[in-house]
Structure 1
């Protein structure tokens, strides 16, 4: 390495003199902290051998962002200069680079002939290093276009990969604790049911398409090992995504292949015999980088604070991208998850509170057979830019899901009749055994055409599209889940475990309900939609569009799947869902917006009398402000909304049929939400939220009018802070942080017969990054529920039991350590 420095008495110029060879071609690993720009450029010149000239005054007071990862020399220099008003010019021979102010560069270009750049296809998801810490400035879910959040007149929040890594999140449920207005609502102890703005949401989208069945079971389980980010679009999203709950949608964005090589291997270990191995590898396959790959996944095995509960899971996701030209890109990925677990029925209420028994106590059985869950997602994306104006994008997703579980459960579980024997002083828990098995196949696709136009002085980002979904599934139930089984009762205060295997055999040999234990589902819907995002004077944004849906739903029941399919009724519905929004940006750092939108959701079940139910209709009015502070590194959204939904279904407890439903009529949710994420300084990052939610039943035929909706706290919030030490040499590489998660008192069911007490949970972490040759070794330690508080997360959403016998407690103090190698 050759370099020299000189000081000119006239300008105080500082120069670094080395050869320029390989400036735009060599890919190397960089590992620089955020620091003064002059020092960062010195290190860059020393490492790359670049001859770089600039006067010292030019960089005085400027800083460079952290630079970690594999880049070409050109990419690395551009990233170092990204937050400064500087660029560079060559001396004409390519031998020397000189830093200049960007406006001088633009003036020079104006004197040259304009040459059109090649048409380039943009990635749908940002690469990991393009997200600066916790700050995310763009999202796809709100408009299906690459639009800045500050220009979008709807509320959308993003949890980036960096947050999930710092919090050591392994499940989607835990990642969403950082978003206002989102609450978990689990069933069987699995964390994939949610409430958004007060309304139940059992579906999760994957890269913009529905993942898992529509009618069968719940939303699929998601591990975070292959997730790049999680996006939450608040309010009705039917215009772009079809049949969806009005509270909002959850869209997980998976990791995509990248053209620069990076690898990571992590081992985690923690409380309750927790062991997890996580890996990620990506890079170019060919020299021209037209073929790229990624292979991410995790293996996890753990016990639980709940008796007899465990989880044994493996996730793998290989993916490949082919880019035959700058205008065309295709990605194929396969995601496979297999899980063995123990279905957990949770705790129960006595009076108006959870029962006063240890949260570790379970009333299943240690000899309960192992339950299994498997999921395979096959995804494909094609993007082609016809020219600088029009781009076509096609997505396809095939989902295959299987779930089989058998468990000991409270008797009368679907009718909220007495499950404690009053003859024993309400200390004997009456039980039976229930088995269920569900399978589903879902195929969904869409075709989007987007255009960027300029008409009569206005800018238009136009979208027209079509999507289609077809889902079929089967559901089998066995075991008498209504009546107590003699011999299975247990003392809630002094339980004695151990069930004779004959009880399980009898349950599996008993189809129940007799004659209708087999169900067959079929859903088919498609829609066409349009949207135009109009920009006037670069400050006024108008968003308008609509969608028309055609939906066919049906469910048949019988003593076999063939009989159930032959008995399949069919209901057809169609409807129009509009959306309009307006946003005004008086300054680059402030946006004021409002929107009105509706949703259409075809109900896919029947009442106790066998009648089908009219579609669910949602409507929302929303207004808010958005801001970007601290050099646009911190984003915040404050929103007020008023949301209604008609024809909401819950279980019909007046019927012995566990599948009978009845519409509540109408519910209303209104409130205020605040979300903040990003960086205050290069060292201090945060993500926080607050929600005031007033969610009530407004029309009802069963005496619940005016009641609060279940599991929705009036006040809830979170704040997670992280501090990176970057400017104190002895401690560089050390980071630490803490988070607080708060929820107020919640009603446990729609009848408001009991409440879950409010709680405050404190989490903390510390990590140290050590430079090891061309790699980074990161040691991290997390504690969840640092103060070891007892709290309850949610109740069952009538999926497998009434809420009174399906209360799920949060975990006590839990520690986790990890070692991660990145290279």
Structure 2
């Protein structure tokens, strides 16, 4: 809904936007068309005043919005009148009367010109008289907007996000830093996993393990937990699990800083929340085929609408199938995602949504490259040191959830969410020997040419159940408005992990020359190596988490300009990690540690003008550890604390938003690998780390045709307290300077090229330390991407052809290093892809 003073619809149908024509860049064009528009406004029936219209086939409500803006008139009609009706559109020079006739063709709706510049719409045949329950008439002017979930929405900006407060509070009134990457950006950039989508947000870096896009660094701290519609979807995050697809996503929300006050166990750098596509009342169908370099083939589909014969039920079925090779030798991916969902609205006050997400992929894990001295080795980034005879690796993920909402009245709402997640992962590969230490891997007698390898296999299986119950309400007290939230949540996660093969000692005959590698390992090696027990035989692990939380939040608004956000959360956590030579032995050895703590959050925002806000906040986080030290002792909870201040703006009728923020963030009892233990799961607390920096994010439209999304981050992330000599070192994989800028231009007002869009983007990062020991660095880089597309109108359908190029200048760069989860960072360096081209054909109807 628009703010007071801007006309809007009151029905559920979204309003589709055309241009606002309000910026200086279009002044010259406005002067050239001002005269005919004024004449038409004075006499809208004048047939001699022709205008060049360009309105494609689309839902009627959005076609009317476009016509209102291009002609300068206002339409008055009942919002239910146009619901579910399509329009064939209009293209060419017509009088207003002729254009409107074409736009309404086949709709069963007539029009009547009133005094001034208003046009009234009504049914041609009225079968029933209007009653007191009829919805009020609505005026539509040249200022219109899309619903956020509208699949036709091209806007890069979003004015609200549920991740920050679990309420509908606008971002401009929320005293925290929030960014949203909408579907439109993912479509233009043709992202397949959220790793690429998150490049559009400041202070976020990918940190893969085994080459999979499964974890991220936010404001300097690694975050392996990703949320889905407000609930954690990755559970214990053991093993690698499946990647996060984009085919079923509406948007990706990022809340910067500690979010434990509402979400419990989360890293203090920030929260990543995936918003999935929901069933819609209006029918929409699309199918897309992509094809590109390295035998890349991908099919995406999306179908939604009401279920015939039952107006209270709607459905959606989205998904993707992808098959591709890689610029990395021997790597490939074969992945399928399906996401059916259904929504039931038994009344205006109650809504129940059910959805199932299932992803399965066969792949080959990537062991990456390695460092020689203080830089990545000078070898081709395509070279891999796994083997073509490695068995196929597999992982899968299933999410089953529901969302039940009931509104007691217009002010009080109860919401219950539930999500069950099941993640399975199994991989086998050739890896460097001594693979969980920081020792030198190369044979010193070979001139740093050969290193020893062994064969290692691991399997992880986890299940997570999480739910919450939230009561939100709005009321006035002592002249101030309140938006209050009270809630409880619960998480239970159980996971097993087991590995095979001697991961420390080399297998005779498997050493390899890095400059002249010879491949083709005898399959018998795999069977023999995997039958070899580990040094101490303890290769079974059992993880268990039980987490209860109760929280509250109050958003107080004073004098319509001051917003105070206060709240807190109390956690009760029980964690454990058992280790043994069998599953039963690990269960018997499972310790149980109980922790509890309080996490407050306070924020203040002052909005002196509708387009500007100044804010500050202080917040903490509480994260129980289920790791153990080399001696078997449990580790104290991780505690995060942040101070933040910033400035937000919205320009051009909320089409363009910016956020500038400064933060100071600390984390105590930072858990990491114990480098002195051969046990790959032995942990130690670094002590304390600090990250501080400045962020700038911008997203939206500068004009009707010019869109932008970009960011810049200065980040100083260091270890400030440590007991092993790391104090003062920079945190790994965090560049001091990073940022991106993506620009898009849509041609709307030049008839020969209408429908053409093109864009250009740059993604850059400075030099980064490869590990917390600061023994080597990854060089900085700047990557250039581009795209062009053309939209054809086929009756009521749209056919979109698109061509994307990633890394246009074919630069060599390195994205990240392994976080010591499956390999030491020095032998787990993951390069970025070279120049890659992709073509796309998409049909929407």
TM-score (norm 2): 0.87
Structure-2 residue corresponding to 1:145: 167
What is the deviation of 1:502?
1.3
Structure 1 residue 289: Cα displacement: 2.4
Aligned equivalent of 2:111, options 51, 74, 78: 51
Q: Decide which of 224, 228, 244 is 2:266's aligned counterpart.
A: 244
Q: Aligned ranges for residues 123-138 of structure 1 at < 5 Å?
A: 126-129=148-151, 131=153, 133-138=155-160
Note the alpha carbon deviations across 1:735-764, whole angstroms, 9 max, x for none. Answer: 000100010000000111000000000000
State the distance in 2 between where 1:692 and 1:19 align.
50
1:24 aligns with 2:94: no
For 2:812 and 2:39, the matched residues in 1 are separated by 68
Shift of 1:32: 5.7
- Counting only pairs closer than 5 Å after superposition, residues 408-807 of structure 1 correspond to structure 2 as 408-807=430-829
1:36 is displaced (CA, Å) by 13
Structure 1 residues 620 and 38, CA gap change in structure 2 (3 angstroms): farther
Deviations 1:265-302 (A, max 9, x none): 00000000000010000000044521000000000000
SS in 1 for 2:110: coil
* Aligned-residue offset at 1:682: 1.0
- The change in CA–CA distance for 1:74 and 1:465 in structure 2 (over 3 A counts) is farther
What SS does structure 1 have at the residue aligned with 2:738?
A: strand
User: Who is 2:45 aligned against?
Assistant: 14
- After superposition, the Cα gap between the structure-2 partners of 1:481 and 1:38, relative to the gap in structure 1 and judged at 3 Å, is farther
Compute the TM-score of the two structures, normalised by the length of structure 1.
0.89
Q: Return the alpha-carbon distance in structure 1 between the equivalents of residues 776 and 596 of structure 2.
A: 39
User: How far, CA to CA, are the matches of 1:673 and 1:491 in structure 2?
Assistant: 44
Distance 2:629 2:366 in 1: 28
Contact 1:796/1:807 (<8 A) preserved: yes
* Closer, same or farther: CA 214–611 of 1 in aligned 2, 3 Å: same
CA, structure 1 residues 8+468, in 2 after alignment: closer, same or farther (shift >3 Å)?
closer
Structure 1 residue 323 and structure 2 residue 345: aligned? yes
Aligned residues: 768
Instruction: Name the structure 2 match of 1:390.
Output: 412
Deviation of the 1:506 alpha carbon: 1.4
SS in 1 for 2:752: helix
Asked whether the 8 Å contact 1:718–1:742 carries over to 2, the reply is yes
Q: Give the corresponding residue for 1:366.
A: 388
Residues 56 and 759 from structure 1, CA distance in 2 versus in 1: closer, same or farther, beyond 3 angstroms?
A: farther
Tell whether the 8 Å contact from 1:368 to 1:407 is kept in structure 2 after alignment. Answer: yes
Shift in Å at residue 46 of structure 1?
A: 5.4
Q: Deviation per CA, 1:557-586, whole angstroms, max 9, x where unpaired?
A: 111111111110011100000000000000
Query: CA 1:8 to 1:366, structure 2 compared with 1: closer, same or farther past 3 Å?
Result: closer
User: How far 1:660 sits from its partner (Å)?
Assistant: 1.3
Q: Secondary structure at the match of 1:719?
A: strand
Tell me: CA distance 1:31–1:311, structure 2 relative to 1, closer, same or farther (3 Å): farther
Residue in 2 that maps onto 1:204: 226
Cα gap change, 1:347 to 1:101, in 2 (>3 Å): closer
1:433 offset after TM fit, Å?
0.7
- 2:248 maps to 226
SS in 2 for 1:730: helix
Q: Does the 8 Å contact 1:474/1:521 carry over to 2? A: yes
Distance 1:507 1:153 in 2: 56
Aligned to 2:14: none
Structure 1: 5+ residue stretches without partners: 1-6, 60-72, 76-89, 103-122
Residue 399 of structure 1, CA deviation? 0.4
Q: SS of 2:341's equivalent?
A: strand
What's the secondary structure of 1:128's corresponding residue? coil
Quick one: distance in 2 between partners of 1:33 and 1:625? 43
Partner of 1:338: 360
Contact in 2 for aligned 1:193/1:218 (Cα 8 Å): no
Find the counterpart in structure 2 of residue 811 from structure 1: 833
CA distance in 1, matches of 2:76, 2:370: 73
Q: Is the 8 A contact 1:478 1:510 kept in 2?
A: yes
Which aligned segments of 4 or more residues in structure 1 are displaced greater than 3 angstroms?
A: 7-11, 15-23, 30-49, 54-59, 96-102, 129-132
Alignment of 1:820 onto 2:842: yes
In the aligned structure 2, how far is the partner of 1:622 from the partner of 1:743?
23
In structure 2, C-alpha distance between the alignment counterparts of 1:97 and 1:259, rounded to whole Å? 21
2:300 matches 1:300: no
Question: 1:37/1:174 Cα in 2 relative to 1: closer, same or farther (>3 Å)?
Answer: farther
Q: Which residue of 2 aligns with 1:108?
A: none
Residue-by-residue CA offset, 1:239-259 (whole Å, 9 max, x unaligned): 000011000010000000001
- Give 3-state SS (helix, strand or coil) of 1:141's partner: helix
Helix, strand or coil: the match of 1:290? Answer: strand
- CA offset at residue 31 of structure 1? 6.7
Structure 1 CA distance for aligned equivalents of residues 278 and 92 of structure 2: 30
